[in-house]
Structure 1
Amino acid sequence: MKILVTGAAGFIGFHVSQILLDRGDEVVGLDNLNDYYDVSLKNARLDILKGHPRFRFVKLDLADRPGMAALFEREKFHRVINLAAQAGVRYSIKNPLAYIDSNVVGFANVLEGCRHNGVEHLVYASTSSVYGANTAMPFSVHQNVDHPLSFYAATKKANELMAHTYAHLYGLPTTGLRFFTVYGPWGRPDMALFMFTKNILEGRPIDVFNYGKHRRDFTFVDDIAQGVVRSMDRVATGNTDWNSDEPDPATSKVPYRLYNIGNNEPVELLRYIELIEQCLGKKAQKNLLPLQPGDVPDTFADIDDLVNDVGYRPATSVEAGVEKFVRWYVDYYKVS
């Protein structure tokens, strides 16, 4: 298949593209290479992907409507995986308008490209942040998510609604994937694992929010990437049992699905930091702080639908995942 992967120079997009290329698909990787974080890291990921003969890179912004329309018309993709987005809960507090351009306008351009060019299936990244003020654990895709706590989460919830509309009006099969705290090699420098590792090695204190007491369903990036690819292979279909009197938010009569991808095993942040310390052989200086605005105390994914429908369950323990990240970090940054 010819597959468009947006955000291909990004953390998850890089890993997804590798899986697709290794199994023989043709991948067109799109990215705008913005400077939200170190562009050299994005280029290093791209250099690896460009070593595959079936990979082509297109530098383009999702918000570029004419450019996106021309790309879809020229390439005639079989399937699309949309991973490009302005990410980050905390940055969305400082600069919410950046999220409109990428996550709303950009996603609309992706939907239009799919609609007008016969794309068989659109898979797109959502986030566990959409659960917002929900406290019922584990988080289920069958729960209502109308109370986001960050603008980032609100734009991702908007993506889910927009996707349903296109599934309803144009019959476009769409699958949204709510990612739970992704970590691993080639991760973003603004993410906790990266920042903690860097600061501990440099002897600088780390900011530990909620005094380290909140729990996260840390999910290793290889598990996320496998879940994305397997979800793409299973084209969304309508749910014949869907009932408008008791509407299920995760499905519809039209070809629309939502899934959680999480490790299904929350870990307290202090334990996460302890694992980093063990791998580095060095203790952290902790700056204990209250919970930040926009953050939720805990995340915990109910993944029953992913297991039953897609046949996939994340399997990497946090102990193994943190060790793999630290090994990559030490090697990539040549830490002595």
Structure 2
Amino acid sequence: MLIPETSIHDALGRLILEFHEAEQAEGQVRAHGQMRFGAALEGPPGRLHGGHHAFVRTLPIVERISAHERARTFPCRVDVSMKQGLALERPIPFEATYRADAESWRLDTRFADSDRLVAHAHSIPDLPLLDAVELARWRTLYQESKPGDDSFEMFGFTIHLAKKLVWLESCDPLRTLPDSQHAKLVEPDGTLGPAFVTTQLDAVGATARGALMRHPHFTKHIDIRFATRNIPAETHLLCLADRTQVREDPRSESAPVQIQGALYGTATTPVVLVDASFEHAFAAGFVTVHPVDPAKFEALRRMRQMRQD
């Protein structure tokens, strides 16, 4: 009998049910196994949260590979497609291929025997994710957008909306927001790790598009570069999504959805995680979302209730 976990950390700590690997020619490693996603990782009703997809389908697997050196994992990039959902509280098969040399490593995964659930992760050079000009542009967007035009509460924290920007803040959440998702994502060593990064960038990236439609939506793709594994939880952080750079995805195979007389398709939004002084970028990338089709998604009403307008 499967017993649901009571916390995000419990669920993340018990992801892998089975894991088997075999070394192939030229140092390549092939692995397969099963994962189980606990109820604490829920996003859409009964399904894995989009932000958690980007973490659980890549980094826990690469660090389970016996040939991989954990100290080499970061900095890295993850590129994860979500063209179908993953159910909670049941074993989900996965397969992976890992290869590494003296300079780099790469992991490719496939879940639920489906080409609609492929993901990639690889090392990147240990260089700043954003240069001074890029940081200054994000700072200007933030300064021009404060205090915001609207806001709403989600999972115990506030998301702020303005014409050009969507953002959320985090600073010592165990003290300032003890009942929030942010506090639940603080690691035992007092830091915020990659699960925090992927879920919070997903939150602002999805909202940047979703607030325009004022309609439920789901994440289809996340592409994030990480500068580091852990960030001290007391760091004043800003998760930002640039609404001036939202772009339709010409590669999308999903049909546009009509919402209040207008058609909306798949769209991609740039996102970053920076310190509040805009001196350092901890993560940067893109979140791609698509509107829910009311005719095909029976849980639409429950998704609407998740947002407290």
Q: TM-score, normalised by structure 1?
A: 0.26
Structure with greater strand percent: 2
Structure with greater helix percent: 1
Q: TM-score, normalised by structure 2?
A: 0.27
